[in-house]
Amino acid sequence: MKTLRLFALLDQLRSARYPVSAEALAQRFGVSPRTIYRDMASLQAMGAPVRGESGLGYQLEKGYFLPPLQFDPDEMEAIMLGLRLVIARDCGDLRDAAQRVSGKVASALGEEGGERFQTLPILAVSRPQLGEEQVTRWGSILRKSIRERRVLELAYCDLGDRTSCRRVHPLGLTLFDEAWLLTAWCELRQDFRNFRLDRISGIKEMDDHFRPQNGQRFKDYLAKL
């Protein structure tokens, strides 16, 4: 996420005719001014000619341009393997997105590089899984709710065939060999809970949103593993 924001910041500064304040950039990208200060320091440490003036803001030195995408062979193979794995798992909207990304990367690499990228001898094969249609059905809703921090009400049947209705804060998704797993903060249990997407029978998007709280974030869950 930070890497994408750094490139977006460079694009924003490149298109600006005048210095842009940290506050304006923070509002544009939905982060704090302190995050912008750290991002600019990172860009300067990487050699980007970003000039910051107190009371004025940030701007790029004249003549600076962003280079085209360049990947070494290992990077190209890693990208293609990841894209083909998503496509092989038939992940609905993600499969379509992976196909679009593949085309965009190939286009950015130029005619010769794009051809090499598209024809890399790297394959991904996945066996059909039970409940895959449920994964496709709920995947886009859950990803959108995670991005928007929208509270959800889940109708769920656990592995013991016990049904329940849970009001949760969706935090993250994990892809295992056999199943997709949603990690969420459960308001009833006041703790983290995991839900297999193929065991979810219904999702209701609530009108309210949740705010990240210490001890209730996805990274807090991962730290407990």
Q: What is the mean pLDDT of residues 3-22?
A: 81
Q: What is the mean pLDDT of residues 187-204?
A: 96
What pLDDT is stored for residue 64 in this prediction?
60
What pLDDT is stored for residue 173 in this prediction?
96
pLDDT over 70 (residue 70): no
The confidence band for 65, taking pLDDT boundaries of 50, 70 and 90, is low
Q: What is the mean pLDDT of residues 151-163?
A: 95
Q: Which residue has the higher pLDDT, 68 or 218?
A: 218
The confidence band for 218, taking pLDDT boundaries of 50, 70 and 90, is very high
Q: What is the pLDDT of residues 131-156, one digit of tens each?
A: 678 888 899 999 999 999 999 999 99
- Measure the CA–CA gap between 209 and 112, rounded to whole angstroms: 47
What pLDDT is stored for residue 109 in this prediction?
83
The confidence band for 63, taking pLDDT boundaries of 50, 70 and 90, is low
pLDDT over 80 (residue 44): yes
| Contacts with 136 (C-beta within 8 Å, 6 or more apart), sequence order | 90, 91, 92
The confidence band for 54, taking pLDDT boundaries of 50, 70 and 90, is low
Q: What is the mean pLDDT of the chain?
A: 88
Whole-prediction pTM: 0.67
In whole angstroms, what separates CA 167 from the centre of its chain?
23
Q: What is the mean pLDDT of residues 118-128?
A: 89
What pLDDT is stored for residue 197 in this prediction?
94
Q: How many CB atoms lie within 10 A of CB 108?
A: 14
- Looking at the chain, the whole-number percentage of residues with pLDDT higher than 90 is 50
